[in-house]
Chains A and B, each alone.
Chain A
Amino acid sequence: MYKLTEDSILKDGMSIPRDPANRHYQEFLDYVIEHGVADIDGGEEVVQEDYATLRVAEYPSIEEQMDMIYHVGIDAWRASIKAIKDKYPKSMKRETVAKPVPNWVMEEANKKAGQ
């Protein structure tokens, strides 16, 4: 079964580029011509990252944190870190939704079929 990602097409461990000169890409188009896109996995879109990713993105750099401890004190530093942890509790899991197969797939297949 084919699965689309942002950059390529996956099948049986292969990562297939959208290059017309690539034979696996041509086989993919042949599959679409014959079977349509019903069996193709359009991939997934992340609607929410997990807590660890969100926290890492928001934590100040190590240098900024050391600076805060030196100038404002460790309690203030602890409070600022806790605010981020409370904002993104451990219950926050990564959530994704299925994406529809993009239009270019049928367009490219139709183009090949018409040749």
Chain B
Amino acid sequence: MAGSLVVSDINGAGFVDNLIINPEFTLNQRGSASRTTTSSAYNYDRWYYDGTHLYQGVENESLRNGTYSLSWSGSSTAAYSLNTAGSSGQGAESYTAITSGSQITISGLTTETLWVRFTGDLANLTEVMLSKGTGASSFVGRSYGEELALCQRYYEVLETSSEIVICPMAQYNSTVAYGVYQFTQKRAVPTVTFLAGSTVKYFRGSSAIDIGTPARETIGTQTLRLSVINSATVGTAGWLAFTDGGGALQIDAEL
């Protein structure tokens, strides 16, 4: 043995786990013009904007009792709240102001979500980092692919400007055809939206039936069952597709 490894030797060397997702605002699956384009909504991935603050919730499953350090670059000011409001809990509780490099202590954790929020110069906020431990670590970035995978636990979108098959379908009984679309596993059963302007058609043999929006949807954390009201014999095969002007299928399980 050449000697003991000291924790301080590896601080900032890429081993620190940042609980903030999309800390450099590189992911923008919704295609928002800016971080603050739409109020009371998520614009850039994982960042909720209420008209004044940018919020990010760290879900309970990622938290442990102990001390965390929060740091960021830019002149924004920050605050945090540990609350049980969970979903839609961005503004539900009182917040405690915190300066960059300071600590957040969590004890007696049960089902709380940790919300951090920023205000001020939000356009230049970057390198946000929340890591376990008492020392402010140097910011550690992740690859675009890693960041995308983390974001897609909360949100993803199937989007096209032309034709694309969504899923194969089969006639279940004399009135309904079913198909299953699979997506990245979400933290909860997501809300599913065919965005306005989407043109969805059901293809069966040589027929293309314009159905607007599939009539019913049953969803789990990684599957979406699409159904089309359609008269055909059981087992008749078909497929569901965006056509003409395309469209977008949005799958949203944000906090």
Residues of A in contact with B (beta carbons under 8 Å apart): 5-8, 13-17, 19, 21-27, 30, 49, 52-53, 56-57, 59, 61-62
Contacts and interface: CB of A to CB of B under 8 A. Distances in A.
Nearest to A58: B174
Given A22-B87, A26-B88, A52-B231, A13 B255 contact: no
A39 B217 CA distance: 22
Give the contact-size bracket for chain B: 20 to 34
B194 interface: yes
B101 interface: no
Contacts of A19: 188-189
User: Residue among A24, A30, A49, A59 with the most chain B CB within 10 A?
Assistant: A24
B219 interface: yes
A30 to B, nearest CB: 7
A56 B233 contact: yes
B158 interface: no
Contact of B190 (A13, A17, A30, A49): A17
A15 B175 contact: no
B90 to A, nearest CB: 9
B195 interface: yes
Given A13-B195, A21-B86, 5 more contacts: A7-B219, A13-B193, A14-B192, A15-B192, A56-B232
Contacts of B33: none
A68 to B, nearest CB: 16
B99 interface: no
Contacts of A21: 86-87, 187-189, 253
Q: Interface of chain B, helix or strand or loop or mixed? A: loop
Given A8-B219, A19-B189, A56 B174 contact: yes
Given A8-B219, A61-B233, A13 B191 contact: no
A7 to B, nearest CB: 4
Contact of B194 (A13, A17, A52, A61): A13
A14 B191 contact: yes
A63 to B, nearest CB: 11
A51 B221 CA distance: 38
B196 interface: yes
A82 to B, nearest CB: 19
Contacts of B30: none
Interface in B185-211: 187-196
Interface string B218-255: 11000000000001110000000000000000001111
Contacts of A17: 189-191, 219
B216 interface: yes
A23 B233 contact: no
A56 to B, nearest CB: 5
Contacts of B194: 13
A13 B217 CA distance: 12
A30 B92 CA distance: 13
Contact of B175 (A27, A49, A59): A49
Contact of A8 (B174, B187, B218): B218
A24 B189 contact: no
List the 7 shortest-distance A-B pairs measured between CB atoms, nearest first.
A21-B188, A23-B87, A57-B174, A19-B189, A17-B189, A7-B218, A15-B217
